[in-house]
A = this chain, B = another copy of it.
């Protein structure tokens, strides 16, 4: 474990959209990959905001079917054209280098160089994002329009990088609650200069952690900031049995800072507490949200939901990876991700977590309907139409039968989750319902 600056006074002010966007802007230029100094630097900046511990997994460590690769570090990379002009420059944009490129310093013809170039004819002005983690290669990524104009002649390709034994790092933060049962939040920190995929994830997760820390919670919250795939696998290989025993719900946060869509991708199981909470929040508060199939997956839920791992992890997103044209190019930038986009993403996650926190079983305290007027909850003049509030209260009570949890009450009584949380407080202070906090076994029974 890398020593965390635990002495730092924890900041009390919560993150808003602007703060999240500023943090994303600070992280944007760093050349992250699945290992290396860029990853560590990113985690250290997040550590300034939340008391993250930074963990180490040595290169060569076996994690399930995979091996942690050597650590990749890069200092510079460029191409000089036949006239000696720097036509591609890593320092201008770190996407220009194929991720995990081995070092090279070579003069070669355009034809030879071309075999090491990557571009996207369908996005001709964008620099694409390409990697080769597990097979040694070197290469440059560039705008297709630029590539088409390269003239014949001798080029010099320079990549000042190294691949050597080191470590893979990830950040972890556990915020204890009343219960040892856990809500698990995962996001990833392995992409270079791209904003929605990926910086929206870590900055929303950071703001969320600050919010979770700001008030006592029932559940323990576990946040992880991992390199995608190899990082989640490494994390699972160390913590699987603990996670399987304690995690009752959780989300993978990715592509959650743009303003276009709200999206949901279920867990493999499809009916876990995470799925149920998200579907209910989305159906009431975000009726236009897109629900994807688990077959559309492409992030760390691939590992969290794999057979034998089977964690209840769904994904919350705005415009899902692979669905927006800027995805995996230099056009996925800080104009595409906005303060209000990030704030909207954060609110979605908060709503799901609020519902999970109070997803107890509720039971009315009297037989028959109560006389609401006695509690100031109803008009005393009877007429044709019930007030909407009264109907909502009576509908809540009708399903508060000790068998419906809060999510089921929302669905059965057609009450929005945010209103249901208000009604819980109202009816509990009137003494009209009792709450019985659901334990893991119950959550599973209802979910399955």
Chain A contacts to B: CB under 8 angstroms: 63-66, 99, 118, 128-135, 137, 229, 232-233, 236-237, 240, 268, 294-295, 298, 302-303, 305-310, 322, 327-328, 363-364, 366-371, 373-374, 380-386, 391, 394-395, 397-402, 413-414
Closest 10 CB pairs of A and B: A307-B401, A135-B380, A65-B370, A131-B382, A64-B368, A65-B366, A328-B384, A303-B368, A233-B368, A64-B367
Q: A307-B400, A368-B306, A401-B308 are in contact. Are A134 and B380 (CB under 8 A)?
A: yes
Q: Which residues of B contact A398 (CB under 8 A)?
A: 268, 294, 302, 305-307
How far apart sit A367 and B401, CA to CA, in the bound complex (Å)?
A: 41
Q: CB within 8 A of A295: which of B133, B368, B414?
A: B414
Q: Which residues of B contact A137 (CB under 8 A)?
A: 380-381
Q: Which residues of B contact A134 (CB under 8 A)?
A: 371, 373, 380
**B371 contacts A66, C-beta separation under 8 Å:** yes
How far apart sit A137 and B236, CA to CA, in the bound complex (Å)?
A: 68
Q: Which residues of B contact A374 (CB under 8 A)?
A: 65
- Chain B proximity of A394: nearest CB distance (Å): 7
How far apart sit A395 and B298, CA to CA, in the bound complex (Å)?
A: 11
Q: CB within 8 A of A367: which of B99, B308, B370, B384?
A: B308
- Chain B proximity of A64: nearest CB distance (Å): 4
**B295 contacts A413, C-beta separation under 8 Å:** yes
Q: Which residues of B contact A131 (CB under 8 A)?
A: 381-382
**A236 contacts B368, C-beta separation under 8 Å:** yes
Stoichiometry (number of copies): 3
Q: Which residues of B contact A327 (CB under 8 A)?
A: 384
**A130 contacts B383, C-beta separation under 8 Å:** yes
- Chain B proximity of A147: nearest CB distance (Å): 16
Q: A295-B395, A386-B298 are in contact. Are A132 and B381 (CB under 8 A)?
A: yes
- Chain B proximity of A224: nearest CB distance (Å): 15
Could you show 28 A-B contacts with beta carbons less than 8 Å apart? Answer: A64-B367, A65-B374, A132-B382, A134-B371, A134-B380, A135-B380, A137-B381, A229-B369, A236-B367, A236-B368, A268-B399, A295-B391, A295-B395, A298-B386, A302-B394, A302-B398, A303-B368, A305-B398, A306-B367, A306-B368, A306-B369, A307-B363, A307-B402, A308-B367, A308-B401, A322-B384, A328-B383, A328-B384
Q: Which residues of B contact A268 (CB under 8 A)?
A: 398-399
